[in-house]
Each structure stands twice: as C-alpha cells, then as structure tokens.
Amino acid sequence: MKVGIVGSGLVGSAAAYAMVLLGGVREVVLVDLDHKLARAHAEDILHATPFAHPVWTRAGGYEALEGAKVVVIAAGVAQRPGETRLQLLDRNAQVFAQVVPRVLQAAPEAVLLVATNPVDVMTQVAYRLSGLPPGRVVGSGTILDTARFRALLAEHLRVAPQSVHAYVLGEHGDSEVLVWSGAQVGGVPLAAFAEARGRPLTPEDRARIDEGVRRAAYRIIEGKGATYYGIGAGMARLVRAILTDEKGVYTVSAFTPQVEGVKEVALSLPRILGAEGVEATIYPSLDEGEREALRQSATILKEAATSLGF
C-alpha cells in the first residue's frame, strides 16, 4: 500500500519514520517544495528499514502520489512574530488551495489525512476545497490529547494505558473537552475503579491531569520548539487503521453537520475509521457541563472557519 506525505518538515518526516517502525505500509512518498529536504528525509528513513519494516521510502513530485490510498497533508507555514491566529489561518488556507487540488489530481481515490495546525479548521478548509465526501477528509484531531489523557490516568491508577478508555473531544487546542463522566478502566467506571484501586481521584488530581493534557504542547514547544514525535506516531496509527480497514474508534476531526446546536463544523468526536475514512460517528454520553464545553469549543471553531469563508 502506498502512502503520500505532503510537507516534509518535522511532523511529516516524523510520521514517515513512525510508519516505517510500525509497518503495514509498502511505500511512502515524501513531497515538498524543498525537494532537497524531502529527498534527505526519505534517504535517512530508508536507512532505518533494515532495523524495522521493509518500506520503500522515496521523495517525488505530486505525480509520484499516483495510486496512494492515503495522503497525509502536513504542509503549512509557521506563525510569524506579531501575527494573529487568523492571519496564520489565512496563509495556511492559501497553501491548502494550492496543495489539495494537486493531491487529488494525482490520487483522486485517496483519503486525505490532515495534520497541519490548527488542525480542525484546516480539516474544514481541506473538505471544502476537495469536494470529497466528509468522511474522506480526516484530521488528526484530538488523538494525541486522548492518548495523553489515557496515559496520565493510567499513571495515576498504576495500570496499563491500554486498559483506560477515555476521550478528549472538540478542538485540538485550548477549548478541548476531557470527558471525565464516561471514562472507564477495564469496563468499570473511572471513579469506582479508582476507589477499588486505592487511588481515588481528588479534585487536585483531576486539575493536575487536566493541566497535563491541555498544556502539554505548550511545555514541549517551550522546551524544543515544536511537537512532532507524538503526532507522528498518531498519524502512522491512523494510516494503518485506514489501510487495514480496521474499523477502530478514534477521536479524529471531520466535518460534522451539527454539534450541540452548532452547524457545519469540523471537530473531534469518536469516529469509526476504515478503508474509506470515517465510516460513522459515535456521539458519546456527556454530562451537562461537558455538553456546554463542547458547544463552546464548536462555536470557537465555527467562527474561525467562517472568518476564512469556509
């Protein structure tokens, strides 16, 4: 199976490397305006394949995407000093206006997997530009936030994170919603499991975990300038879910007709991911506070997309 990655910066190259380590991909093609950069990453990652999986990794132009089942879009521009979020959005929307048509010209059957931030708005931009069914334009959304939430809960409870089932919904950003009310561990409601484990969750514990999830990116960016390993691994996992028609449930972003009264907005909800992208959305049970927080998150995203004309 061939996968294309448009944008060979830190996120795009980390995703390619993670695909080689994870396996399940036969070929990865890196596309970038800076062909020298794309070629360097492709060559470097290819040299890792003897230690991982036999994935043919190469650089090419858009025409090299022909036959790709999934195309990851990690292209975009960085925020300039003094530039507002909306100005950054406008410039990235202009980038997508160039990228999306060229991707679909080469790989019209591909599922588009958006990684560029702010990912929810850029997913909506890509959906509008592509003319594809909404399920075939998927944003990485809150997959990483959900992973952080589960990892921190697991750390507190001293259990494997794979046994924790908890979601982060809405925006991949400051307004994201940690769904405490529906969290479970091994099929047992979170609060009951925590008590039985002798590790009850105090208000202080909840605040610490919330801060750990919500502010993680800020700490990482302060320390090393950008986040890329975590999201790179997440993108590789989503690619495998699509290529294998897994039908797993992931908190990915997609264009949604209505969320808590907010119409036509891209944001993260639990969604079934398979060969054609998002096959179905599973709307979770939320308490009143979580529903209001999700409505606010959807409103913020809707206003940002509307400001761009999308």
Residues marked active site are found at 172
Q: Give, in order, the Cα–Cα distances in Å from 139 to each of 39, 95, 136, 195.
A: 26, 16, 10, 36
Listed in sequence order, the residues at least 6 apart from 14 whose beta carbon sits closer than 8 Å to its beta carbon are: 228, 229, 231, 232, 233
Q: CA-CA distance, 191 to 35, in Å (whole number)? A: 52
In 73-189, alpha helices (H): 85-106, 119-130, 143-157
- DSSP H/E element including 213: helix 203-214
**C-alpha closest to that of 270 among 253, 288, 295:** 253
Query: Containing H/E element for 38?
Result: helix 35-46
Nearest alpha-carbon partner for 297 in 77, 121, 143? 121
The token duo for 66 is 């022909």
CA distances from 186 to 127, 159, 198, 279, 282 (A): 36, 10, 16, 26, 20
Strands 177-178 and 168-169, how do they pair? antiparallel
